[in-house]
Structure 1
Amino acid sequence: MDKYIKLQKIGEGSFGKAILVKAKENGRQYVIKEINISKMSNKEREESRREVAVLANMKHPNIVLYRESFEEGGCLYIVMDYCEGGDLFKKINAQKGVLFSEDQIMDWFVQICLALKHVHDRKILHRDIKSQNIFLTKDGTIQLGDFGIARVLNSTVELARTCIGTPYYLSPEICENKPYNNKSDIWALGCVLYEMCTLKHAFEAGNMKNLVLKIISGSFPPISAHYSHDLRSLISQLFKRNPRDRPSVNSILEKIFIAKRIEKFLTPELIAEEFSHKVLQKFGPHFGPGNRPAQGQNFASAAPAQKITKPAAKYGVPLMLKKSGDAAKKFYEKPLIKCRQEAAKKKRLEHYEKEKRHREQISFLKAEQMRRLEKERIERINRAREQGWRNVLSTGGSGEVKVSDVAGIYF
């Protein structure tokens, strides 16, 4: 900690403390996550160190950047970039009931999805997605943070069975004591999207029992009708009770109204890299059973200071591949051709969706017309019945009722 000056504590949770610091060397502000490992079991210490190995491999414009980590005085310290814009939770509360525009919501949501894609493609579960763990930089870029309980999956079928997280974001399967999986992250993603649309939690109750019952039932108040059908439909998909019915983050990003926003946030090179689906597992020796780092060992050191001339360089994204000539060309050729094919496919789907919405609109208008005609018919019947009763009453109680009068009552 000799390299940093403590400024203030900015957060505290089950993991430990989050402290805002200033680096003595360059005067820049960072957030240091302090985790007390002195009273932990060997297994818990290993989990904490595993987190560091995970963080060290997370380099993406929409993920809070890891700088370095070290152990000192019975504590593990993790140094991260500081997001001056605060977290999404505070941003939502600052609205004071004034809804965000759909354009703003979708820009934020796409960036969260891009971060989660980067995580899930590497067989990692975030496991604590919530508005308090989504941050904004000074220029308004969204960054996903706090991988305090992230865990690397050793295979595509391994599932983590522990449940840690804010109750509002718990999925039905966790409430039913079933395994946590990547679709549980998707449920939490739905909770965040709902929160951005309504400025409220989707599932709220006075106590944990009632909250769990609400989550398991999957019923939530509808969002405002001034948001698009696409957005409202997406929320319903993210809140499917059965995890298998929820879309993956990759299929979310393939939706036309979402895919068209991706190029706003990623360079063409990074799009080709992220969407090639050829993710390399670069977790190094940290995960081998015989390669556990000793206490006090430096896990990683901060990258040497360099002049940032392009935004991509800041995040460790290679602007040029270490390949030359035809090799580099071939590397990009296939993903780019695939992108064009997908663009054409999306255009066809967009046309189909437009036609479908047109047909639905016509059906809706016809249904409205039928309802109006039915209402008029019922009103005629009621008027006729009323007239029939008046005819009966007009007999002056003589006891003689005409057949035509009675018939009028049951017209």
Structure 2
Amino acid sequence: LQNYNVQYSIGHGGFGNVYKAEHRFTGQKVAIKFIEKKKIQNHSGMMKRVLQEVAIHSRLKHPSILEVYNYFEDAHYIYLILELCPHGDLNSKLKTLSCGFPEHEVRSYMQQIVDGIVYLQKHRILHRDLTLSNILISRHGTVKIADFGLATQLQDVNEKHFTMCGTPNYISPEVASRTSHGLESDVWSVGCMFYAMLTGKPPFDGEGVKETLERIKSGEYCMPDHVSSHAKHLIKSLLQMKPEDRLKLER
């Protein structure tokens, strides 16, 4: 850590903070994620989850996925040296707008996100927390999939999981119903992100978590008139209730 000039906090979570930093010798600007060991050791299974996050994320190399440059630890923290995305995330950017991004901008974001998800699927990685808050904007204006804290490595493309996890507005019906789910649940999340980028909020957004989950399980949502017919068709193709009916992302 002494090789870095740690500057200020740019994000925080339940188990640590993310800081902007600069390498003292190369001048490279990075983000450093500090994961506090004391906090994760007090939560059952968290150390295993963090180590799994590091193992999965550190080996991913794709233009649409946030890069891990290095990782190490000391007695108090696990450190992830990450690519710096100085322009925040898509959710924060969306909140500055009155009703969503213009379609040409969404088209560009979607192409990059889908390319990244296809890469993950080829490597049998289920992200499980695809939200606009986890899509970061690089210094070049491109987008990067981040936060692999809930990601899991599947042994087979058809492997299923039963753990209910993720952000309520973006989880699939099978996750909300606590039934088996696989790679197709990430496709549903892509559909939710697509809808949110165009309209300003996720398709099943309710007054609270319970209402949101009920809406997801019913599969009913309203489509604003300003969304183009092509976009409506694509959203419908992604937000299919049966996982096997969802659009295949790979071209």
TM-score, normalising length: structure 1: 0.57
Aligned ranges for residues 154-173 of structure 1 at < 5 Å?
154-173=155-174
Identity of paired residues, percent? 29
- Correspondence 1:146 to 2:147: yes
Residue 163 of structure 1: how far off its partner (Å): 2.5
**Aligned position for 2:70:** 68
Question: Quick check: 1:197–1:223 contact (8 Å CA) kept in 2?
Answer: no
Query: CA offsets per residue over residues 19-72 of structure 1, 9 Å max, x none?
Result: 222222223221112222341579542332222221222111111111000011
Distance in structure 2 (CA, Å) of the matches to 1:18 and 1:179: 33
Cα distance in 1 between the residues matched to 2:174 and 2:236: 17
Partner of 2:246: 246
- Separation of aligned partners in 2, 1:147 and 1:15: 14
* 1:221-232 aligned within 5 A: 221-225=222-226, 227-232=227-232
Q: Greater share of strand residues, 1 or 2? A: 2
Ranges in structure 2 where 5+ consecutive residues have no aligned partner: none
The count of aligned residue pairs is 249
Within 1, Cα distance between the matches of 2:225 and 2:101?
A: 11
User: Using the alignment, how far apart are the partners of 1:187 and 1:14 within structure 2?
Assistant: 26
Distance 1:76 1:160, change over 3 A: farther
2:95–2:200: 8 Å Cα contact kept in structure 1? Answer: yes
* Ranges in structure 1 where 5+ consecutive residues have no aligned partner: 255-411
Distance 1:42-1:213 versus aligned 2 partners, 3 A rule: closer
Partner residue in 1 for 2:79: 77
Check the 8 A contact 1:129/1:185 in 2, yes or no: yes
CA 1:33–1:179: 2 relative to 1, 3 Å: farther
Tell me the equivalent position of 2:29: 29
- Counterparts in 2 of 1:122 and 1:204: CA distance versus 1, 3 Å: same
Corresponding position of 1:136: 137
Tell me which residue corresponds to 1:203: 204
Checking the alignment, whether the CA contact within 8 Å between 2:4 and 2:21 is kept in structure 1 is: yes
Is 1:15–1:148's contact at 8 Å kept on the other side of the alignment? no
Does residue 1:182 correspond to 2:183, yes or no?
yes
Question: Which is higher, the Rg of structure 1 or of structure 2?
Answer: 1
CA offset digits 1:352-396 (Å, max 9, x no partner): xxxxxxxxxxxxxxxxxxxxxxxxxxxxxxxxxxxxxxxxxxxxx
Greater shift after overlay, 75-84 or 24-33? 24-33
Aligned runs of 1:12-411 on 2, under 5 Å?
12-38=12-38, 39=41, 43-97=45-99, 99-225=100-226, 227-250=227-250, 254=251
Note the aligned Cα RMSD (angstroms): 1.8
Mapped to 1, the partners of 2:45 and 2:105 lie a distance apart of: 42
Query: Per residue, is there more helix in 1 or in 2?
Result: 1
Distance 1:134 1:234 in 2: 20
Distance 1:15 1:115, change over 3 A: farther
Residue 44 to residue 101, structure 1, CA distance change in 2 (3 Å) = closer
Q: Is the 8 A contact 1:62 1:112 kept in 2?
A: yes
Secondary structure (helix, strand or coil) at the match of 1:249 reads coil
Q: Determine helix, strand or coil for the equivalent of 1:106.
A: helix
SS in 2 for 1:191: helix
Question: How many angstroms does 1:132 deviate by?
Answer: 0.7
SS where residue 35 of structure 1 aligns? Answer: strand
Write the letter of the residue equivalent to 1:214: R
Q: Does structure 1 conserve the Cα–Cα contact (< 8 Å) formed by 2:88 and 2:136? A: yes
